[in-house]
Amino acid sequence: MSNICVIGVGYVGLVTGTCFADLGNHVIALDIVEKRVENLKKGILPIYEPGLKEVVERNVRAERLRFTTSYQEALKDADFAFICVGTPEGVDGEADLQYVRMAAESIAENMDHPLVVINKSTVPVGTGDWVAGIIHEKQPKPIPFAVVSCPEFLREGSAVRDFFSPDRTVLGSTDKEAANKVAQLHLPLRAPIMITDLRTAEMIKYASNAFLATRISFINEIANICEALGADVKEVAQGMGYDKRIGHHFLESGVGYGGSCFPKDVKALSYMAQIHGTEPQLLQSVMEINMTQRRQIVLKLQDILGDLKDKAIGLVGLAFKENTDDIRESPSLDIARMLHELGAAVRGYDPVAMENVQRTVPFINLAEDAYELASGSDALVIATPWNEFKSLDFERIKSLMKQPVIVDGRNLYDPLRMKAMGFTYRGVGRGYNGAMISSSGESHT
């Protein structure tokens, strides 16, 4: 059992602190936003994450998990201090480290005994050394400490499960003893533990996210080619995935990646590469293809409906992915903005992200459910693959719509079935609306 301080109660911090408490440790989770801490003490979570609320409540009742705004209280008996603050995108795509700096300075000013400081936030390569320098500089008197990088690999929507069943734990430090202490903390998770240096650990996080984003952009580019040639990208991806060297993960074509990690991490890695004199050509292409996928949805709507001015377009799903209320870099909202600029009347529905959308994208007219959204719509865009969208009553949907047009940005439905029901249907890379190539090599449309 260890005493742990977790700084930041966003997606990473709240999940990390709560799950370590569930392993039997005593955790104090700190945030400088008083309202957020007050709400947590009342059992009100700042995020939607399946299963998290129950784990928080269980560990608060067991007195293994507490919340505070006081660094002095949080660090008083701590063996470990996890920095889990946000690193938003800066002006040029770089990671903004202002909150990491604030956390490091506050740790230095309030620690009164030896401490292992763990960078959990996604930070540029070299940040571990930078944090160590800040703590040395800001300490009122010298107290031993060590900095360890322990990047997170949690997926929003399955973060609790990912914490307890990780593929690996990556640790980086110049202090082998400190790295071993953090390794011991993770032993109950029974996953491979890799110990390396600080910069390599930081780079593993960026390289992992960039590779996954690359897979998504790759299959989306293949989807666009499939559509032109009359092939079905879903079957192409399935056939590719049986190759053990490739696998099936992240080969689902659609509207592209979004969220709080992939977009900013790919940009940040590209920025780091450029300022150090290398040319990240592949990363640039990954980002360009990702944005192209949003435009493709709008182009499909224009191809079917013509001028979109005053057309009622319903967005089925607003969060960047299912099982989360996170709308950061959401493909759905990028599509919404493009439609709005073209004069369309943009409508939307999402099972949990509505409140966040209402606060940040006021021009979207929100519906109570998918059926209210369909009512009077000229077209629906399937933008987020929530389970509840996989078995909609399409006879009812069709009867409610002004025009039975569906652009399926997540390839949730069978094109032949949708067409048989009378819908004008477009997926992503399904081939049926592209050119068909005859055995003689001639192209037909």
Within-domain flag for 307: yes
pLDDT at 394: 97
Same-domain check for residues 307 and 375: yes
Same-domain check for residues 51 and 188: yes
- Does the structure show a pLDDT above 80 at 433? no
pLDDT digits (tens, 9 = 90+) for 360-412: 999 999 999 999 999 999 999 999 999 999 999 999 999 999 999 999 999 99
pLDDT at 91: 86
Both tokens of residue 242? 């049986």
CATH number, residue 154: 3.40.50.720
Within-domain flag for 436: no
Within-domain flag for 221: yes
* Catalytic annotation, pick one of 5, 84, 226, 261: 261
pLDDT at 422: 97
Same-domain check for residues 234 and 158: no
Within-domain flag for 204: no
pLDDT above 70 as % of the chain: 97
User: Is residue 52 within 8 Å of residue 160, measured between CB atoms?
Assistant: yes
Q: Give Cβ neighbours of residue 372 (< 8 Å, ≥ 6 apart).
A: 349
Q: How many residues does the chain have?
A: 445
Within-domain flag for 201: no
Within-domain flag for 358: yes
Same-domain check for residues 183 and 50: yes
DSSP 367-403: -SSHHHHHTT-SEEEE-S--GGGTT--HHHHHHH-SS
pLDDT digits (tens, 9 = 90+) for 266-285: 999 999 999 999 999 999 99
Within-domain flag for 431: no
Confidence bin at 435 (pLDDT 50/70/90) = very low
- Does the structure show a pLDDT above 50 at 444? no
Same-domain check for residues 155 and 213: no
- The mean pLDDT value for 98-116 works out to 98
Of 161, 196, 231, the last residue of a domain is: 196
Same-domain check for residues 367 and 408: yes
- The mean pLDDT value for 191-196 works out to 98
Same-domain check for residues 136 and 250: no
Same-domain check for residues 191 and 242: no
Same-domain check for residues 156 and 227: no
- Does the structure show a pLDDT above 80 at 209? yes
Whole-number average pLDDT of the chain: 95
What 3-state class would DSSP assign to 321? coil
Q: Identify the DSSP state of 187.
A: G
Q: Identify the DSSP state of 313.
A: E
Same-domain check for residues 158 and 234: no
Long-range contacts of 395-401 (CB under 8 A, 24+ apart): 395/421, 396/371, 397/370, 397/371, 398/422, 398/423, 400/371, 400/374, 400/375, 400/376, 401/374, 401/375, 401/376, 401/377
Give pTM, 2 decimals: 0.93
What 3-state class would DSSP assign to 27? strand
In 3D space, the residue among 253, 252, 131 whose CA is nearest the CA of residue 198 turns out to be 131
Confidence bin at 57 (pLDDT 50/70/90) = very high
Burial class (CB in 10 A: 0-12, 13-18, 19+), 276: exposed
Q: Identify the DSSP state of 438.
A: P
Q: Give Cβ neighbours of residue 138 (< 8 Å, ≥ 6 apart).
A: 104, 105, 108, 109
Same-domain check for residues 246 and 114: no
- The mean pLDDT value for 198-211 works out to 98
> Any catalytic annotation for residue 19?
no
Within-domain flag for 340: yes
Structural domain of 26: 3-196
pLDDT at 432: 60
User: Is residue 326 within 8 Å of residue 353, measured between CB atoms?
Assistant: yes
Per the structure, the count of domains in the chain is 2
Same-domain check for residues 321 and 417: yes
- Does the structure show a pLDDT above 90 at 443? no
How far apart, in Å, do the first and last CA atoms of the chain sit? 67
Of 162, 196, 230, the last residue of a domain is: 196
pLDDT digits (tens, 9 = 90+) for 307-329: 999 999 999 999 999 999 999 99
